[in-house]
A and B are shown apart, each in its own frame.
Chain A
Amino acid sequence: MENLTFIVFAPLVAAGIIALLPRTFNVLFRLLALAGTLASLIGALRVFLNFDATATGLQFEQQARWVDALGISYHLGVDGLNVGLILMGAIVAFAAACVSREIAQWQKLYYILLLLMAGGILGAFASFDIFLFYFFHELALVPTFILIGVWGRGDRRQYATFQITLYLSLGALITLIGLIALYLAAGTHSFNLLELTRHLAVEPISAGLQNVIFPLLLFGFGILVSLWPFHTWAPLGYSAAPTAAAMLHAGVLKKFGLYGLIRIAVPLLPTGAQHWMNTLALLCLGNILYCGLVAMRQRDLNLLIGNSSVAHMGFAFLGIASLSVIGVTGTVLVMIAHGLLAALSFAVSGYLHGRLGTLQMDQMGGLLRRMPFIGAVMVMAMFAGCGLPGFANFPGEALVLFGSWSTHRAVTVLATWGALVVAAVYMLRAVRVIWHGPVADRWKELADAPNLWVKLPFALLLAALLVFGCCPRLLTDKIAPVVETIVQQAGAPPAILTAGSKPTWFSPTAARETMPAPIEP
């Protein structure tokens, strides 16, 4: 099971089996979807636990020839950067399959698309071939559109579907152009990321060309991650999406853009990256502050979560913009934490929508009395969203802010405001409006999550958030060494690497350097 091909293809094979079954086997579809994603989850967990943080290079590597004429190969592997992301993706995929109980219509097609999406996402994060990386992403992206279009909700579903389709396709295609340009400019005749890295370390692309290719990747990936001002598709799209699609997209698929920036754009185009990082830092303020303020005005719970999810992406961008080990490590942590958080938030809101039939917050109130479990989960998710210590978001955001302090002070100060004040305002207000106060008569009969099966996805996501929040070293130990090489490739000024502002309590590599070696028991 510690086999990346198994992890990626378990959902895809399940989708294939479902496709061959007759249309009426609804229970079996659901079981197959659960089995496929659970298999991936177990595989991803074992890979995560058996991952050797001290080793360099790829682990669990798998390679096969695909299109030799173009230098495209099937190449999967994990290193510290993606091992956590794959685990997060597998957790969210399983949770998404769990909450799909709400789907009543056309279950066969639904589960096929959901599993395609899950397999595509995991494949994208495991790929070490640029073409394969893009290929898997598209494989996951297109089912998203159909899921929203067919099983979406709300009056503006059609509009939201078309907007998200056109916006994200545009972003993906700009990325594709950027990746092809990168491949051609490198002149290695190979899409293999390791070979490209090795080649470009010796013969970098000319600065002028880098400054052209990097923005293609920055804005292409940026559109996919909802970088301000290209974020407008996100809140509307998520509010119209069925729960599982919103969870998988906002939680995992969206991180593809950030991952691409860290994995491909920054290390392979260092000059371009340095040239554009200040722009990115300013744009991410748009995410944190503007979208945070927009979230404050929302009356629809899903729109609030959607906007806050866009706002959180600002921190991830800020970490990348800092081009420092701490900042980028923080970004990866934010990616994982936010993936779990977004999935949890959308799962809760989906559950509420199923029970209440509405997500207008001013129609709710006092629900905590009726739904103590769901309410507690939601309150904890909201706290995680404000960056409360104990949840994985806190170390992530803290590292980002520490990392960006030395490069973008003004931005960091403003971002801290966004994180502490703006987020706290809208999150706490939502908690008050939805869960406290008198219960309206119409909700008197509401019931909480009835059994363990219903509670499982929430508990799983929350547990992961808490585990990584209380013990971020599980991730940072793995992430930091890889990020260090990436930042070195990006040629960040050494001052940042060894700056005194580096907090050693989260950065194990630094800790190892400065502290005496621990005595082995």
Chain B
Amino acid sequence: MSHLNAIGLEIAVLATGLALLLLDLWAKPGQRRQLAYGAVLALGAIFVASFAVSAPEPRLAFGGLYVLDELALFFKRFFLLAAVIVLVTEIEFAERLDAGSSEYHALTLFALVGMMFAASANDFALLFVALELVTVTFYVLVSYQRRRTPSLEAGVKYLILGALSSAFLVYGIALVFGVSGTMNFLHLTASPPEILQSPLLAIGLLLVLVGLGFKVAAVPFQIWAPDVCQGAPLPTTAFLAVGSKATGIVLLLRVLFVAAPAVTARWNHALLVVAALTILYGVLCAIPQRSLKRLMAYSSIANAGYLLIGVCVGNTEGVAAMLFYLGGYLFAVLAVFLVATLAWRGTDADEIPGLAGLCQRSPFLAGGLTLAMMSLAGVPPLAGFFGKFLLLKAAILGGATHPGLYWLAGLTIVAVVISLYYYFGVIRAVYWGENPADVSPLAVSWPARAVLGLCLFGMLWLGLFPANVLNLAQIAAAAIKF
């Protein structure tokens, strides 16, 4: 029974998803929207309930397969909050789907369950199953607009590259199991030194990291991101950029610092190089983009690089900074996609110049997009600034032991300056873009308004009063023993 207790949050989400599917059978077409709002409320309730759970001591369940600690809880709350916002975005997007809007929401919920399980993975088997649950659902979600060729093309690309990365992952897990005889992270850490020194184990872990790098969209496994993000429906792109990336990050933390800290220590330089290349690739490729989705895809690659700084620092402070950054990233990115969904209602556009005139059509949406872009660019008093500040601080502090981090901090500065160019480009299009095609006022439903307000509140709150969330992040990071 205590095992079921431990996965209570996941069960609740799963039940919500199944109930949504079932009730859809009896729902009239006009009631689908209410049904989806019901799911949003249920998720919101689960999110609130998650704060009643705490795990000062890690609780293992299912034979050590599953762990419930503060890190897992932090990410579960993160995913739940992201899903609430994404679901509202999906409801606004539903009119662009030919059919099956309830299934679309339900699939998102199933992906969410996968992410929440991944946050608790303490074993390569659960890691793989949870990751596949996320990835396979995303294959469907990405190609959900089945009459739209770009969506299908994106789905096929994601399927092929995702399958490839899964293959790497399985092969890596097999090697790790072959060498050490265990799939459990804690058992692997406690293995005798000769096993930990084995080159085959290192190769196995490297292949696992390739699989995770694909999820995070770190260079050189980022190739899929721009095309898939551009082709996928807007809410799915948002969930990919936030949820899927965070899943990769939490698993990366578990594998690097729980399963194989001894091996990770030897790879510090390689991680630094990956982080640096990811940041550079993301910001440089974002400069010429005209499509907002592609721009956000490249920006999400650059942000993956910033997050990896926290991993490179490799101590509680670095991870706490990374978790805080992730929180700010969630609000900013989801706000951008929500605004994009509302602004481009009824069209298939995604060009940045198409945002011209938004400030006249809806000052609220224009203001929201502006704040989100500023937060991403790292402007105070918004969340992005404080997140970058914490990451830089952690990097400079860590530089005393790994001098490479100084270079990474310097590179980050350059990248932030470059990123100002393209983020401000979007703001420019909103406020003084030329030849607006449409200046009719834009009606925004009140749930969408409320959720966008939540995002803006989140960005400001994290930027102005960071203490609470920072405290949560520090507690979560302390769950990993460095």
Instruction: Output the least CB separation between A175 and chain B (Å).
Output: 10
Instruction: Output the least CB separation between A184 and chain B (Å).
Output: 5
Would you call B413 and A69 a contact (CB within 8 A)?
no
Chain A 145-184 near chain B by CB (<8 Å), digits 1 or 0: 1100110000000000010011001100110110011011
Which of the candidate stretches A135-143, A280-288, A330-338, A357-365 sits at the interface with the other chain? A135-143
Considering the chains assembled together, what is the distance between the CA atoms of A443 and B421 in angstroms?
A: 41
Would you call B409 and A69 a contact (CB within 8 A)?
no
Would you call B471 and A69 a contact (CB within 8 A)?
yes
Would you call A166 and B421 a contact (CB within 8 A)?
yes
Known A-B contacts A149-B432, A181-B396; A69 and B467 likewise in contact (beta carbons under 8 Å): yes
Considering the chains assembled together, what is the distance between the CA atoms of A67 and B467 in angstroms?
A: 5
Considering the chains assembled together, what is the distance between the CA atoms of A177 and B471 in angstroms?
A: 23
Would you call A69 and B396 a contact (CB within 8 A)?
no
Q: A173 — which chain B residues lie within 8 A by C-beta?
A: 413, 416-417
Q: A68 — which chain B residues lie within 8 A by C-beta?
A: 467
Q: Which residue of B lies closest to A220 (CB)?
A: B413
Would you call B474 and A69 a contact (CB within 8 A)?
yes
Instruction: Output the least CB separation between B381 and chain A (Å).
Output: 6
Instruction: Output the least CB separation between A167 and chain B (Å).
Output: 9
**Which residues 369-415 in B have Cβ within 8 Å of A in the complex?**
374, 379-381, 385, 389, 392-393, 396-397, 409-410, 413-414
Would you call B396 and A184 a contact (CB within 8 A)?
yes
Would you call B374 and A142 a contact (CB within 8 A)?
yes
Considering the chains assembled together, what is the distance between the CA atoms of A173 and B378 in angstroms?
A: 10
- Which of B374, B417, B466 contacts A166, CB < 8 Å? B417
Q: B416 — which chain A residues lie within 8 A by C-beta?
A: 169, 173
Known A-B contacts A67-B466, A150-B431, A173-B416; A165 and B471 likewise in contact (beta carbons under 8 Å): no
Bin the interface of chain A by size: 20 to 34
> B448 in the interface, Cβ–Cβ < 8 Å?
no
- Count of B interface residues, CB-CB < 8 Å: 30
> A66 in the interface, Cβ–Cβ < 8 Å?
yes
Instruction: Output the least CB separation between B376 and chain A (Å).
Output: 13
Would you call B421 and A162 a contact (CB within 8 A)?
yes
Q: B417 — which chain A residues lie within 8 A by C-beta?
A: 166, 169-170, 173
**Which residues 15-46 in A have Cβ within 8 Å of B in the complex?**
23
Q: B414 — which chain A residues lie within 8 A by C-beta?
A: 170
> B13 in the interface, Cβ–Cβ < 8 Å?
no
> B428 in the interface, Cβ–Cβ < 8 Å?
yes
Chain A 321-339 near chain B by CB (<8 Å), digits 1 or 0: 0000000000000000000
Would you call A149 and B428 a contact (CB within 8 A)?
yes
**Binding site of B, secondary structure by majority: helix, strand, loop or mixed?**
helix
Chain A 52-66 near chain B by CB (<8 Å), digits 1 or 0: 000000000000001
> B267 in the interface, Cβ–Cβ < 8 Å?
no
Would you call A138 and B428 a contact (CB within 8 A)?
no
Q: A174 — which chain B residues lie within 8 A by C-beta?
A: 413
Q: A70 — which chain B residues lie within 8 A by C-beta?
A: 393, 470
Considering the chains assembled together, what is the distance between the CA atoms of A181 and B410 in angstroms?
A: 12
Considering the chains assembled together, what is the distance between the CA atoms of A173 and B431 in angstroms?
A: 26
Would you call B389 and A176 a contact (CB within 8 A)?
yes
Q: A131 — which chain B residues lie within 8 A by C-beta?
A: 389
Q: B363 — which chain A residues lie within 8 A by C-beta?
A: 23
Instruction: Output the least CB separation between A254 and chain B (Å).
Output: 19
Would you call B470 and A67 a contact (CB within 8 A)?
yes
Chain A 164-206 near chain B by CB (<8 Å), digits 1 or 0: 0110011001101100110110000000000000000000000
Instruction: Output the least CB separation between A245 and chain B (Å).
Output: 15
Considering the chains assembled together, what is the distance between the CA atoms of A169 and B423 in angstroms?
A: 13
Would you call A138 and B379 a contact (CB within 8 A)?
yes
Would you call A69 and B470 a contact (CB within 8 A)?
yes
Chain B 404-447 near chain A by CB (<8 Å), digits 1 or 0: 00000110011011001100100110011000000000000000
Q: A109 — which chain B residues lie within 8 A by C-beta?
A: 431
Would you call A166 and B420 a contact (CB within 8 A)?
yes
Instruction: Output the least CB separation between B44 and chain A (Å).
Output: 27
- Which of A67, A142, A145, A180 contacts B396, CB < 8 Å? A180
Pick the most buried of A138, A146, A177: most chain B CB atoms within 10 A of its CB.
Answer: A177
- Which of B389, B413, B424, B467 contacts A170, CB < 8 Å? B413
Q: B424 — which chain A residues lie within 8 A by C-beta?
A: 145, 149, 162, 165
Q: Which residue of A lies closest to B431 (CB)?
A: A150
Instruction: Output the least CB separation between A233 and chain B (Å).
Output: 13
Instruction: Output the least CB separation between A310 and chain B (Å).
Output: 21
**Which residues 349-365 in B have Cβ within 8 Å of A in the complex?**
363
Pick the most buried of B381, B465, B471: most chain A CB atoms within 10 A of its CB.
Answer: B381
- Which of A23, A69, A142, A183 contacts B379, CB < 8 Å? A142
Q: A139 — which chain B residues lie within 8 A by C-beta?
A: 380-381
Considering the chains assembled together, what is the distance between the CA atoms of A169 and B416 in angstroms?
A: 9
Q: Which residue of B lies closest to A137 (CB)?
A: B380
Instruction: Output the least CB separation between B415 and chain A (Å).
Output: 10
**Which residues 25-79 in B have Cβ within 8 Å of A in the complex?**
none
Instruction: Output the least CB separation between B333 and chain A (Å).
Output: 20
Q: A23 — which chain B residues lie within 8 A by C-beta?
A: 363
Q: Which residue of A lies closest to B419 (CB)?
A: A169
Pick the most buried of A131, A138, A180, A184: most chain B CB atoms within 10 A of its CB.
Answer: A180
Q: B465 — which chain A residues lie within 8 A by C-beta?
A: 66
Q: A165 — which chain B residues lie within 8 A by C-beta?
A: 420-421, 424
Q: B374 — which chain A residues lie within 8 A by C-beta?
A: 142
Pick the most buried of B410, B420, B428: most chain A CB atoms within 10 A of its CB.
Answer: B420
Would you call A177 and B409 a contact (CB within 8 A)?
yes
Considering the chains assembled together, what is the distance between the CA atoms of A109 and B417 in angstroms?
A: 24
Q: B466 — which chain A residues lie within 8 A by C-beta?
A: 67
**Which residues 456-473 in B have Cβ within 8 Å of A in the complex?**
465-467, 470-471
Instruction: Output the least CB separation between A98 and chain B (Å).
Output: 25
Q: B409 — which chain A residues lie within 8 A by C-beta?
A: 177
Q: Which residue of B lies closest to A116 (CB)?
A: B381
Q: A138 — which chain B residues lie within 8 A by C-beta?
A: 379-380, 385
Considering the chains assembled together, what is the distance between the CA atoms of A66 and B465 in angstroms?
A: 7
Q: Which residue of B lies closest to A134 (CB)?
A: B380
Q: A69 — which chain B residues lie within 8 A by C-beta?
A: 467, 470-471, 474
Chain A 456-469 near chain B by CB (<8 Å), digits 1 or 0: 00000000000000
Q: Which residue of A lies closest to B366 (CB)?
A: A109
- Which of A135, A177, A181 contacts B413, CB < 8 Å? A177
Considering the chains assembled together, what is the distance between the CA atoms of A15 and B414 in angstroms?
A: 32
Would you call B381 and A135 a contact (CB within 8 A)?
yes
Q: B421 — which chain A residues lie within 8 A by C-beta?
A: 162, 165-166
Would you call A180 and B392 a contact (CB within 8 A)?
yes
Instruction: Output the least CB separation between A429 and chain B (Å).
Output: 37
Would you call A180 and B470 a contact (CB within 8 A)?
no
Instruction: Output the least CB separation between B420 and chain A (Å).
Output: 5
Would you call A177 and B379 a contact (CB within 8 A)?
no
Q: Which residue of A lies closest to B463 (CB)?
A: A135
Would you call A180 and B467 a contact (CB within 8 A)?
no
Would you call B432 and A180 a contact (CB within 8 A)?
no
Considering the chains assembled together, what is the distance between the CA atoms of A461 and B374 in angstroms?
A: 34
Instruction: Output the least CB separation between B49 and chain A (Å).
Output: 27
Apart from the given pairs A142-B379, A166-B420, A180-B396, 20 other A-B contacts in the complex at a CB distance below 8 Å: A66-B465, A67-B466, A70-B470, A109-B431, A138-B379, A139-B381, A145-B424, A146-B427, A149-B432, A162-B421, A165-B421, A169-B417, A170-B413, A170-B417, A173-B416, A176-B389, A176-B413, A177-B392, A177-B409, A184-B397
27 contacts between A and B (CB under 8 A): A66-B465, A66-B467, A67-B466, A67-B470, A69-B470, A131-B389, A135-B381, A138-B379, A138-B385, A139-B380, A145-B424, A149-B432, A150-B431, A165-B424, A166-B417, A166-B420, A169-B417, A170-B413, A170-B417, A176-B389, A176-B392, A177-B392, A180-B392, A180-B393, A180-B396, A181-B396, A184-B396
Give chain B's interface residues, CB within 8 Å of chain A.
363, 374, 379-381, 385, 389, 392-393, 396-397, 409-410, 413-414, 416-417, 420-421, 424, 427-428, 431-432, 465-467, 470-471, 474
Give chain A's interface residues, CB within 8 Å of chain B.
23, 66-70, 109, 131, 135, 138-139, 142, 145-146, 149-150, 162, 165-166, 169-170, 173-174, 176-177, 180-181, 183-184
The 4 residue pairs across chains A and B that have the minimum distance between CB atoms: A138-B380, A173-B413, A170-B417, A67-B467
